[in-house]
């Protein structure tokens, strides 16, 4: 925290001294108790020190290869001009805070979920609602579209992830066909189908991620390593890879091997919760957004943070991030109701977008990169495009 110099009589920066008398301290341990406890504490302390030392050594090794900054290398790249981005569609229909959304592979349909338990499937191009389902719980924090476009998954405070097949018959009751797939011991924070309708990857407030077989509900693999709630995840875009990245309240971003369940890389440079992680389109890097009001870029080959996207005037947390198709632009949805657009290579902000009347809670670029969609606590979703 900051240290302000004391000044004047009416100073808001004066630190309150702690009380002089410390009568509330417990009496010292009796000698017998002391000898019993020492060996165990010593082993733990020793291990802790060893772990800390190795961690520091790793930071040193990582820093050794830091011969240049990304924005320096990017100086030779032509600057981006003025950007005018506007809302092209506004989707109204949720009765409460929109918490999550996902695009269908057809590039026009989306699924969204809200605090009042409603999950809606829209044709965002026409703004028509195509399906709606009411979940038995409030705060549906996660939703995802299946690759086939024939199902959606969602969950939240119910600690589960459920799959609803989408019927062509609009009159059919979607809720009747609901399939319960994932079971966590705390809230579901995010879910994503793999490249198949048959597997779902989930993250939870219980500190774990898990891979599930949709048909049977069987747990295929679990991922342990976060020290607190996991808030987000993203699958690597590779055709061959079996990895994904997760971010949590422990300020860590972890890269996982889906086959073994092992954490293969870990990054801890944020100062607060990581609310969103998204891979750079080549799969060699990923971006994160945090409550510390910054977005950061981590490269997997360099094994370190390679850029920070922040400004003094941005003091509210980032809820959600995504890249444009080429990876040149990073879009961030913030808790101050705005969207900031960053030049990923040069590290500068190219645009700030106003429009939502409350927090932006979710943001995704469409599958072909022609637009991006945001969801907000103001109950609406907006589709944004570049005006040219």
Partner 1 sequence: MSPCSICKSYSMEEVIARMQDEKNGIPIRTVKSFLTKIPSVFSGSEIVQWLIKNLDIEDPVEALHLGTLMAAHGYFFPISDHVLTLKDDGTFYRFQSLCLSPSAVYLCKRTMQNKARLELADYEAESLARLQRAFARKWEFIFMQAEAQAKVDKKRDKIERKILDSQERAFWDVHRPVPGCVNTTEVDIKKSSRMKNPHKTRKSVYGLQNDIRTHSPTHTPAPEAKQPTEEELQHQITFWQLQLDRHRLKMSKVAESLVGYTEQYFEYDPFLTPPDPSNPWISDDTTLWELEASKEPGQQRVKRWAFGIDEVLKDPVGREQFLKFLESEFSSENLRFWLAVQEVKKRPIREVPTRVQEIWQEFLAPGAPSAINVDSKSYGKTTQNIKDPGRYAFEDAQEHIYKLMKSDSYSRFIRSSAYQELLQAKKKKSKNLF
- Read off φ and ψ for residue 63, nearest 5 degrees: -70, -25
By CB under 8 A, is residue 5 in contact with partner 1? no
By CB under 8 A, is residue 243 in contact with partner 1? no
Sole binder of partner 1 in the list 209, 371, 374, 381 (CB under 8 A): 371
Sole binder of partner 1 in the list 35, 36, 90, 218 (CB under 8 A): 218
Nearest-angstrom CA–CA distance, 100 and 287:
18
When the beta carbons of 171 and 240 are compared against partner 1, the nearer one is 240
By CB under 8 A, is residue 36 in contact with partner 1? no
Q: Of 26-34, 129-137, 164-172, 290-298, which segment contacts partner 1 by CB under 8 A?
A: 290-298
Nearest-angstrom CA–CA distance, 324 and 21:
59
Enter the tokens of residue 15. Answer: 């630190």
Burial of 138 (0-12, 13-18, 19+ CB in 10 A): middle
Site for partner 1 in 131-190 (CB under 8 A): 139, 141, 157, 187, 189
Sole binder of partner 1 in the list 13, 92, 136, 180 (CB under 8 A): 13
DSSP for 48-95, written as a single string: HHHHHHHHHHHHHHHHHT--S-HHHHGGGSPPP----EEEEEEE---S
When the beta carbons of 4 and 172 are compared against partner 1, the nearer one is 4
**Going by C-beta distance under 8 Å and a sequence separation of 6 or more, which residues neighbour residue 323?**
278, 279, 280, 281, 287, 329, 330, 331, 344, 365
Sole binder of partner 1 in the list 34, 36, 42, 69 (CB under 8 A): 69
By CB under 8 A, is residue 89 in contact with partner 1? yes
When the beta carbons of 27 and 76 are compared against partner 1, the nearer one is 76
Sole binder of partner 1 in the list 117, 155, 247, 317 (CB under 8 A): 317
- Picking from 161, 217, 223, 225, the residue whose alpha carbon sits closest to that of residue 189 is 161
CB atoms within 10 A of CB 153: 28
CA 208-309-100 angle, to 5 degrees, is 45
By CB under 8 A, is residue 130 in contact with partner 1? no
Name the minimum Å distance from CB 101 to partner 1.
Answer: 16
By CB under 8 A, is residue 308 in contact with partner 1? yes
Name the minimum Å distance from CB 175 to partner 1.
Answer: 23
DSSP strand pairing (274-279 vs 208-213): unpaired
Sole binder of partner 1 in the list 127, 159, 243, 324 (CB under 8 A): 324
Nearest-angstrom CA–CA distance, 197 and 76:
43
Q: How far is CA 90 from CA 87, 142, 339, 348, 368, in A?
A: 7, 21, 15, 28, 20
Q: Of 28-36, 163-171, 174-182, 268-276, which segment contacts partner 1 by CB under 8 A?
A: 268-276
By CB under 8 A, is residue 236 in contact with partner 1? no
Sole binder of partner 1 in the list 14, 90, 92, 136 (CB under 8 A): 14
Nearest-angstrom CA–CA distance, 189 and 122:
22
Sole binder of partner 1 in the list 29, 33, 34, 65 (CB under 8 A): 65
Name the minimum Å distance from CB 171 to partner 1.
Answer: 27
Q: Of 29-37, 128-136, 166-174, 261-269, which segment contacts partner 1 by CB under 8 A?
A: 261-269
By CB under 8 A, is residue 273 in contact with partner 1? yes
Sole binder of partner 1 in the list 155, 205, 247, 289 (CB under 8 A): 205
Sole binder of partner 1 in the list 133, 250, 333, 380 (CB under 8 A): 250
- Picking from 300, 227, 302, 307, the residue whose alpha carbon sits closest to that of residue 265 is 300
Enter the tokens of residue 72. Answer: 């320096």
SS3 assignment, position 151: strand
Sole binder of partner 1 in the list 129, 178, 179, 349 (CB under 8 A): 349
By CB under 8 A, is residue 326 in contact with partner 1? yes
Nearest-angstrom CA–CA distance, 154 and 112:
9
Helix (H) or strand (E) holding 45: helix 31-64
By CB under 8 A, is residue 329 in contact with partner 1? yes
């Amino acid at each position: 925290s900051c240290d302000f110099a004391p000044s004047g009589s009416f100073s808001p920066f004066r630190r309150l001294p702690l009380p002089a008398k410390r009568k509330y301290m417990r009496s010292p341990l009796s000698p017998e108790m002391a000898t019993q406890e020492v060996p165990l504490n010593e082993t733990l302390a020793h291990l802790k020190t060893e772990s800390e030392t190795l961690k520091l050594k790793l930071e040193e090794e990582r820093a050794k290869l830091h011969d240049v900054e990304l924005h320096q290398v990017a100086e030779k790249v032509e600057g981006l001009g003025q950007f005018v981005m506007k809302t092209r569609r506004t989707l109204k229909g949720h009765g409460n805070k929109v918490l999550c959304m996902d695009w269908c592979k057809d590039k026009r349909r989306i699924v969204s979920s809200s605090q009042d338990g409603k999950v809606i499937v829209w044709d965002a191009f026409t703004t028509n609602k195509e399906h709606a389902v009411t979940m038995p719980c409030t705060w549906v924090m996660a939703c995802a579209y299946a690759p086939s476009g024939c199902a959606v998954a969602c969950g939240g405070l119910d600690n589960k992830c459920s799959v609803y097949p989408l019927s062509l018959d609009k009159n059919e009751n979607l809720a009747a066909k609901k399939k319960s797939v994932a079971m966590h011991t705390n809230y579901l924070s995010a879910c994503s189908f793999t490249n198949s309708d048959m597997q779902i990857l989930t993250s939870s407030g219980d500190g774990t991620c898990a891979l599930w077989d949709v048909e049977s509900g069987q747990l295929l693999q679990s991922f342990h390593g976060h020290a607190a709630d996991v808030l987000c995840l993203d699958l690597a875009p590779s055709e061959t890879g079996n990895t994904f990245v997760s971010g949590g309240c422990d300020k860590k971003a972890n890269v996982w091997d889906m086959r073994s369940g092992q954490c293969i890389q870990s990054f801890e440079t944020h100062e607060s919760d990581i609310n969103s992680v998204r891979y750079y389109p080549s799969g060699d890097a990923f971006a994160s957004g945090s409550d510390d009001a910054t977005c950061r870029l981590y490269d997997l080959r360099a094994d370190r943070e390679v850029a920070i996207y922040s400004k003094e005037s941005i003091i509210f947390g980032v809820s959600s991030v995504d890249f444009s198709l080429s990876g040149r632009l990073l879009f961030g949805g913030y808790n101050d109701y705005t969207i900031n657009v960053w030049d990923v290579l040069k590290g500068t902000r190219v645009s700030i977008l106003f429009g939502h009347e409350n927090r932006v809670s979710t943001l995704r670029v469409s599958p072909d990169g022609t637009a991006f969609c945001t969801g907000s606590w103001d109950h609406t979703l907006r589709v944004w495009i570049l005006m040219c």
